Each structure stands twice: as C-alpha cells, then as structure tokens.
Amino acid sequence: MRPSLTVVLALGLLAACTDGSVTFPTAQKAQDRVVAETHVTIVRITRDNIATFAKPRGGPEPTKLASAEPAEYKIGPGDVLGIYVVDHPELTVPSLEPGSGFVVKSDGNLAYPFLNTIAAAGKTVEELRSEMTQGLTKYFPAPQVDIRVMTFNAHQVVVIGEVNHPGTLALDTKPMTLLDAINAAGGMDPNADARSVTVRRGGALYTVDLGAFMTGEMGHNNPTLAAGDMVTVPRRKVAEAYVLGEINAAAIDLSKDTITLTQAITRQGGLIQNRSDARGVFVFRANGEAMTIYQLDVSSPTGLLLGTQFELEVRDVVYITTSPLQRWNDTISRILPTVGAYTTAQSLNK
C-alpha cells in the first residue's frame, strides 16, 4: 500500500479516538485491522517501554586525519626571497621590503649574481644561505649572507564550500590548523555543517567533526594541514521533524541538536488550550512501506516527563489531536449558519 494512503487510514483511526466514545489507546480490534491492512504498528509510550526509545547519545567521532608533522619550511617554486649581503649593497637586489626580491622559478632554480643558477627548491633557508655563503667566498672574503622568504607561494592549501571567501591559502613557517584555514577563508557560512568537514590529502578523504573541537568535546579534531590539502566545508543537510494539529505548526530542526518530543511541544508554545486532547499526542514514523505510530498521554506531568526521553528522528510527524468537546463545537459551528439560513428562509416564505 502506498505511504500516502497509509497516512490517510492512520489519521482516520486517530480521528475515531477523539469522538468521545473511544478511549486511548485505540480499541484492539480496530488496531489489528489497521495493522493488517496498512502495515501500521501502534505503540503506546509508557514507563515500561520508554527505555527502548531513549537512544544512548554517542559522542563525537575523533578524526582519522593526522596532523602534518612540524618541519622547517622548504623553499619552493613561486617563493620570493630577500637576499642581503653585509657591506655589499650591489648584491642586495632589490631590497628586503615585502613583495620584492628574487623569485624562485618554476624549475626550482634561482638566478643570482656571481653564482649564476642556484637550485633553491627543496632547501631550507639555512641550507640555501650556507650554500650561497660558500659560493661567494670565491669572490668576497668572509661574506655575511642573510636570506628571508618575503612572499610564500610554493606550498598551499585549498578551502572550498560553505565559507565566505573560498580559495587558495599559502602556507608559511607557522603551522596552519584546519580552523586557521577556515577562518582565513572568511569563516563559515551560516548554512555550513561544521561537523562534516572533509580534508582530501593525497588519495584519501578524511572527515573532521570540527564542531566537536569548537564546542570543546574533541580537542584533537583540529589537525594541522599539509601542503596540497583540500578542505571542503559542506552545506548542512535539511534534517527536520514536523509538528501539526492542535499546536503551533512548525518544522523542527534536528540538524544541530537532538530534540525530544517534550522539547518539540514546549518550543511551539505547548498544546492549544481548550482545543487539543492531551491524551492524543502521536508521532508518525515511517520505515519503508511500514509505519509506526507512537502515542503519548501528556494530560499529566508524568507523560511530559516520559516525552523527555523520546528522541525525535528525521521526518517524524508529531500530530496533536482535537479534543472531543472541540470537535463537537466545530461541528455545531458548521451547522448553525445553515440552520440560521434555513430559519430565515422559512420566515420570509410565511
């Protein structure tokens, strides 16, 4: 049977619960008939079975992405170097000002006076300084060479997805953590899912629950990035339950926090007084072609307390039934205008 027809039949059964002549839960005969015809199971939430609905809350998962090993910066193609030789301004080209200096070519080589071409890529600043000092001793007595990386371009990470400024970030001598990279990319968009950030390193893809790090639940979930890492911040998926019936109807967001049945009711202002039947709080939960309907009586604080242990799931539908008296009033309200019109018509015909 199609799910839509299943819901219609189930709602019909629940409507019978509010006609003033049926008690909760529904009569076993009617229940058996619906179960047989529509694959619906009706379960009354009680003290005896509530433990089966109170799911143990699993903690955040530690990421399997290891932090990049700290290492001294290696010069690479695209880096701009500032080189200064004491007492030899002619060898300082052009200066040590940011943005100026010698550019390491795409082949990893560096052109420098007297030394012609020097292989710079893959060396630390100290290794290159030592090599250049040794080379210049052929032309100058005891040269004092100073080298600095003026602009870092060789090693980069990429941040894409739900961030304000996606793009490429350069790695420098200071280690960059995952959170550092996201902040440098302008921070997360409000729709971002911080608990499902992914990092592609080499041929492997790792998931990082960065939200757990930011809340202090998982201190290791902020790994240091390595050159070539690609960070993707995904959009938070829609995860909602729905509250309908004699209550302020709304969609309940389950993507950030776990919400219980009692929380869902109270966050919507509670049941509508004089219209709702506190005995008839139902939760519809689909499971393929089958459906389970959970019924909770919240006419007493005990029921609300039980509801604090019943956790809603994505696509659950919470339905609050109408009280028998209100159903009668609604029926009378629909009839009275017709009766009044009929009476008026009869009066005019006399």
Q: Which pTM value belongs to this model?
A: 0.68
What's the whole-number mean pLDDT along residues 104-132?
Answer: 94
| DSSP codes of every residue in 184-249 | HTT-B-TTB-GGGEEEEETTEEEEE-HHHHHTTS-TT-SPBP-TT-EEEEPBPPP-EEEEEESS--
User: What is the per-residue pLDDT for 305?
Assistant: 92
Domain ranges in the chain with CATH number 3.30.1950.10? 80-151
Angle between helices 3-16 and 28-38 (to 10 degrees): 170
| pLDDT band, residue 238 (cuts 50/70/90) | confident
Two tokens at 17? 């619960």
Give the separation between CA 293 and CA 57, rounded to whole angstroms: 23
Sequence ranges of the chain with CATH classification 3.10.560.10: 3-57+258-329, 156-233
Taking phi first (over 0 means left), then psi (-120 to 50 degrees means alpha), and beta for anything else, what does residue 112 get? beta
Helix (H) or strand (E) holding 342: helix 324-349
Q: What is the pLDDT of residue 21?
A: 37
Site of tokens 């998931």: 207
pLDDT for 18 equals 41
- Region 87-111: mean pLDDT is 79
pLDDT (average), residues 209-238: 93
Average pLDDT, the chain: 82
Q: How far is CA 79 from CA 104, 121, 133, 148, 349, in A?
A: 6, 9, 20, 10, 101
Answer whether residue 215 shows pLDDT above 80.
yes
Q: Give me the half-sphere count of Cα atoms (radius 13 Å) on the Cβ side of residue 157.
A: 26
The tokens for 13 are: 């059964």
> What's the pLDDT score for residue 35?
47
Distance CA(80)–CA(149), nearest Å, equals: 6
pLDDT at 66 over 60: yes
- 124-139 average pLDDT score: 94
Q: What is the pLDDT of residue 53?
A: 77
pLDDT at 61 over 90: no
| Helix H or strand E encompassing 348 | helix 324-349
Backbone dihedral angles phi then psi of residue 180, each to the nearest 5 degrees: -60, -45
What does CATH list as the number for 3-57+258-329? 3.10.560.10
Q: What is the dotted CATH code of the domain comprising 156-233?
A: 3.10.560.10
Asked whether the beta carbons of 279 and 24 are under 8 A apart, the reply is: yes
Q: Which CATH number fits domain 80-151: 3.30.750.24, 3.30.365.10, 3.40.605.10, 3.30.1950.10?
A: 3.30.1950.10
Q: Give per-residue pLDDT as tens, 278-323.
A: 888 999 998 888 889 999 998 888 889 999 999 999 899 999 988 7
Which long-range contacts (C-beta less than 8 Å, at least 24 apart) are formed by 227-230? 227/154, 227/155, 227/156, 227/157, 227/171, 228/155, 228/156, 228/157, 228/201, 228/202, 229/157, 229/158, 229/199, 229/200, 229/201, 230/157, 230/158, 230/160, 230/199, 230/200
**Max Cα–Cα distance, the chain, nearest Å:** 131
User: Is the CB of residue 317 less than 8 Å from the CB of residue 244?
Assistant: yes
